[in-house]
């Protein structure tokens, strides 16, 4: 297994990657809370339609979309201490970039949403002001998954995590670390 050269001592890198992992778990819990509130918000709108921007289900939903981009931004600040997580041209990791952009999109959509609802009380899922919520969250989830897999793969590479005991899964990890998981060169 090709191991990337270490730019910082191994023990330091493992500790930093685990701190990133803890932050990701906290933000993952917040993201799970968004999913729950999706139903709460939906049931509120089915019963009381829309009264104002300040009903409890909206406090709950909107506060996440402020907390999530800020939390992932905090990860981006800490992330600079781990050289292996740099993105193209020494920029931010691509997965992390997607996550922050996705959640920022949802954050700004709150404003668009409230402006729309000033004139229209229609609350079905598919009205245009809601599109960006859904697309932003999907982009953010995809980016977060890519980032978490990168952090996890590096922990495996450093020997701090054990990949799956199933030999088929272990082989997939090995190929992913070598950049060959989706290569056409592998029959």
Partner 1 sequence: MTLPKGFGSAGGEGATSADVERMIGRRVENMTGIITLAYIAAWLATFAGTAAGYFYYPWAYPTNSGHFAFIVLTIIESIGYIFCIKVSEEGTRKNSNVLMTIVLGSVAVGTLLIAMYVGW
Decide if residue 9 touches partner 1 (CB under 8 A): yes
Q: Which residues contact 118 (CB under 8 A, 6 or more apart)?
A: none
Could you say which residues in the range 137-166 bind partner 1, by CB under 8 A? Answer: 160
Q: Which residue has the tokens 């600040």?
A: 77
- Give one DSSP letter per residue of 9-57, joined into a string: -HHHHHHHHHHHHHHHHHHHHHHHHHHHHHHHHHHHHHHH----TTSHH
Q: 133 and 106 in contact (C-beta within 8 Å)?
A: yes
Compare residues 56 and 164 and give the one whose CB is closer to partner 1: 56
Neighbours of 148 (CB within 10 A): 17
Q: How far is the CB of 185 from partner 1 (least distance, A)?
A: 33
Q: Is 42 in the site for partner 1 (CB under 8 A)?
A: no
Establish if 43 lies at the interface with partner 1 (CB under 8 A).
yes
Among 3, 4, 11, 91, indicate the residue that binds partner 1 (CB under 8 A). Answer: 11
32 binds partner 1 (CB under 8 A): yes
CA dist., res. 95 & res. 146, Å (int): 5
CA distance 90 to 93: 8
Closer to partner 1 by CB, 37 or 157: give it.
37
CB nearer to partner 1: give 34 or 105. Answer: 34
CB of 141 to partner 1, least distance (A): 16
Contacts of 102 (CB under 8 A, 6+ apart): 136, 137, 138, 139, 140, 141, 142, 143
Is residue 3 near partner 1 by the rule CB under 8 A?
no
Q: Which stretch binds partner 1 (CB under 8 A): 14-22, 105-113, 133-141, 142-150?
A: 14-22
The binding site for partner 1 (CB under 8 A) comprises 6-9, 11-12, 15, 18-19, 21-22, 25-26, 28-29, 32-33, 36-37, 40, 43-44, 48, 51, 55-57, 59-60, 160
């Amino acid at each position: 297994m090709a191991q990337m050269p270490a730019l910082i001592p191994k023990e330091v890198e493992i500790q930093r990657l685990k701190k990133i992992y803890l932050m990701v778990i906290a933000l993952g819990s917040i993201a799970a809370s968004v999913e729950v509130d999706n139903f709460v918000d939906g049931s509120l709108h089915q019963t009381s339609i829309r009264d104002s921007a300040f009903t409890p289900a909206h406090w709950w939903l909107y506060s996440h979309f402020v907390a999530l981009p800020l939390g992932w931004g905090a990860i981006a600040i800490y992330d600079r201490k781990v050289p292996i997580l740099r993105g193209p041209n020494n920029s931010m990791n691509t997965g992390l970039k997607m996550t922050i952009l996705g959640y920022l999109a949802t954050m700004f959509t709150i404003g668009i949403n409230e402006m729309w609802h000033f004139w229209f009380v229609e609350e079905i899922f598919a009205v245009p002001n809601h599109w960006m919520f859904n697309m932003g969250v999907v982009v953010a989830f995809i980016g977060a998954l890519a980032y978490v897999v990168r952090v996890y793969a590096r922990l495996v590479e450093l020997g701090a995590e054990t990949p799956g005991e199933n030999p088929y899964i272990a082989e997939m990890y090995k190929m992913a670390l070598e950049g060959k998981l989706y290569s056409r060169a592998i029959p």
